[in-house]
Homo-oligomer: A and B are copies of this chain.
Amino acid sequence: MWPALQNDTFLRACLRQSTTHTPIWLMRQAGRYLPEYKATREKAGNSFMGLATNPQYATDVTLQPLDRYPLDAAILFSDILTVPDAMGLGLSFGAGEGPRFARPVRDEAAVAALQSPDLNKLRYVFDAVTSIRKALNGRVPLIGFSGSPWTLASYMVEGAGSDDYRLIKTMLYSRPDLMHRILAVNAQAVTAYLNAQIDAGAQAVMIFDSWGGVLADGAFQRFSLDYTRQVVAGLTREKDGARVPVIVFTKGGGPWLQDIAACGADVVGLDWTVNLGAARAAVGSKVALQGNLDPSVLFAPPEAIAREGVAVLDSFGRPQRADGGWDGHIFNLGHGISQYTPPDHVAALCEAVHAHSRLQRAAA
């Protein structure tokens, strides 16, 4: 049904299988740092959701970075807030502002009314997945994604981005029953949403727990990771005879690496505060690791970018272990790429990662 995959390096690294080089992709690789992205966005009325809700535009921008750089994976162009929007919370993006919900979930009545959304309202996402998978024509695998139950909840309660998470943390500590009810609905919704993306053609899925790191130790485990684990347990893990890897990324999750690595995911995403070598020693025999270059390195000249990229690869070390087995590393940034990144700098990074990771494997 789908064209054969020509580059399965990313999927193999996710599953801790042998690879000829370390695969690389970048969070938010289809984005504002690319002039061609801005041009497509202009066509879509200069609207983020205008891009995301139109499968053809979403396909176009998803493929743009692949035409520039030898990236080893594509990721669906969409937003993590599509699910709460489909729940009826009224998502909008003000000019120059972040996302905002017209109807945030802050009281007992709003929590009681909350339901997992009708997936038909998210049809544009699944249509985009299928359209992108077709357009990729087997070049690289396609990653689908969702926000984690906690991260979605933080927007749903705060109504927008927040500096201090005062509203949701007040609910968490004052009315944990309401918090758990929201998270249970979100876990159910995210599970169905990701499974529908897998049905539509996603070959791996990633759960972004972008705001897990704002929680206290203990609260993170109860209010974020427990629900991420529920999602992972409910996912379709095999499709068309292939394993569908699951990546869990918690920004600021370094202190909880052991817990996160035990949540059932195949891959744990790491931000740049984590020492990759230490992380591999701690959990590398259970999960593959994804990350973790500071996106700000891409503001530096190409030589510095190559040096820092190599340092990340060397921190992980040769993926093949002394016993002949393989640990998995997927090169990525520790967070989304900045809109201020010079596009040429990304090319320098891809080249350095591919070249040095081949050398690592050759120096056996």
Contact = CB atoms under 8 A, between A and B. Distances in A.
Given A255-B254, A334-B216, A173 B296 contact: yes
A274 B252 CA distance: 11
Given A164-B338, A166-B340, A174-B299, 11 more contacts: A169-B296, A170-B299, A170-B300, A173-B299, A174-B300, A216-B272, A216-B273, A217-B274, A252-B273, A255-B255, A255-B275
A255 B291 CA distance: 15
A325 interface: no
A199 interface: no
Interface in A188-215: 213, 215
B252 A296 contact: no
Contacts of A219: 294
A23 B346 CA distance: 51
A301 interface: yes
B215 A173 contact: no
Interface of A: 164-166, 169-170, 172-174, 213, 215-220, 252, 254-256, 272-276, 292-294, 296-297, 299-301, 304, 308, 311, 315, 334, 338, 340
A172 B274 CA distance: 19
Nearest to A304: B173
Nearest to A300: B173
A296 B338 contact: no
Contact of A274 (B255, B308, B315): B255
Given A174-B299, A296-B166, A338-B166, A273 B308 contact: no
Nearest to A335: B164
A275 B257 CA distance: 12
6 contacts: A169-B299, A173-B297, A173-B300, A173-B308, A174-B299, A219-B294
A49 to B, nearest CB: 22
A129 to B, nearest CB: 30
Contacts of A166: 296, 299, 338, 340
A135 B283 CA distance: 54
A165 B299 CA distance: 11
Contacts of A296: 164-166, 169-170, 172-173
Contacts of A165: 296
